Amino acid sequence: MPLRAQLSQESRITILTCSPGEELYSIFGHTAMRVVDPVLEIDYVFNYGTFDFNTPNFYLKFMRGQLDYALSVSDFSYFLPEYRQAGQSVIEQSLNLTTDEKNRLFKALISNYEPQNRYYKYHFFFDNCATRVRDVIASNIGDTIVFPEKEYKDLISFRDAIGTYLHNRPWTKLGLDLILGAPTDDPVNASSIQFLPDYLMLQFSDAHRAESNTALIRSTETLLEPKQPETAKPTPPVVWLSLLALAVLVYSYISYRKRKSSMWLNSLIFSLIGILGLLIIFLWFFTSHTVTGPNWHIIWANPLYLILLIPSFSNSRAGTLIRQLMVLAIFLFAILSAFIPQYIPGALIPVWIILIVRLIFSIQERN
């Protein structure tokens, strides 16, 4: 890479926006930058979204929000085939820059690529591949960028914004709704919504310079068209969970009438909910994530369920009291959910019914 080279007047610096992919890490799309200069015979892609699966304790660091992401550089010839194979679109926006601004921006990218500078602590909402591209551009042009205040300002939250990408992944959405806390329901504005590549592209398409009032984007070109997979609309989780709740209710009633023990069912359900409670606490208190707490789901999904797996405690008066308190907590949570400053999915109602049914029947079985 010609670190000291000066870009020519024929050079271009562009923003590459990739549509959402099928893999979990790509479902929100991707943003990268391209530097092209036919005089220097260079065509580089600068990618702030690189991570290494071979990192020691990769999944633990990812869970704790302590995984290092990095700026990588590759030849453009390797970039398009990857997204063509994945069936993702790639849209290129050419920045309207002077030659001096191009060189200043290019030098900043090269500086960011230095070993001591290329790594950063990834944050999905506030520091990712899209926001890094925005920031390096804004810091290295000779004017202030003015982004339009779109109609979604203060009308949608971070949760709403990511939810638009999860219509065909309802279980993923439900899982994220459970582990992402109240801060995720904060409203977005023209700047904060730029963590999503599609919205960053839309914002840049209408952005202009403050002093000259000229458009920031010179031209836009579609390099790859997306493949449209034929996928059937998935059955909402609330349907499957409602069927499960009905099955649990019927089984619990029959077992009670026949005086058959159903402790195995309690062990299964209470274990799952208790583990969910531990996960909520872990993400809230023991990670660097800023959007996983406070999380009001801890009221009904808490680790106390795991105590009920201990026979000596479960069969005691204290165990009965814990069950009664949990039933009360679920009822109050359901009734007051409209006033809780966090989105509560309606799909959880069957889950609450399952818990209440098993808690009540387990009290009756003990008696």
Domain ranges of the chain: 12-153+188-224, 237-366
pTM: 0.91
pLDDT of residue 233: 87
The H-assigned helical ranges of 258-292 are: 263-285
pLDDT of residue 103: 96
pLDDT of residue 60: 76
Residue 323: Cβ-neighbour burial (10 angstroms; 0-12, 13-18, 19+):
buried
User: CB-based contacts of 333: which residues, under 8 Å, 6+ apart?
Assistant: 296, 299, 300, 340, 352
pLDDT of residue 228: 76
Q: List, for residues 7-17, the tens digit of each pLDDT value.
A: 999 999 999 99
At the topology level, CATH places domain 12-153+188-224 in endopeptidase fold (from Nostoc punctiforme) (3.90.1720)
Q: d(Cα 231, Cα 245) in Å, to the nearest integer?
A: 28
For residue 270, the one-letter residue type is F
Q: d(Cα 204, Cα 13) in Å, to the nearest integer?
A: 14
The H-assigned helical ranges of the chain are: 58-63, 76-86, 99-112, 129-138, 158-163, 170-179, 197-205, 237-257, 263-285, 304-307, 311-314, 317-336, 349-366
Give the C-alpha distances (Å, rounded to integers) separating 99 from 109, 141, 146, 195, 301: 15, 11, 21, 28, 58
Integer-rounded Cα radius of gyration of the chain: 26
Low-confidence ranges of the chain (pLDDT < 50): none
pLDDT of residue 61: 79
- Please provide the distance, in angstroms rounded to a whole number, between the alpha carbons at the two ends of the chain: 77
Among 190, 229, 225, which residue's Cα sits nearest to residue 92? 225
Q: What is the dihedral of CA 100, 101, 103, 104, to 10 degrees?
A: 120
Q: d(Cα 84, Cα 98) in Å, to the nearest integer?
A: 32
pLDDT of residue 193: 92
pLDDT of residue 159: 97
Residue whose structure tokens are 């409209």: 338
**Percent share of the chain, pLDDT over 70:** 96
Q: Note whether 63 and 57 are within 8 A (CB).
A: no
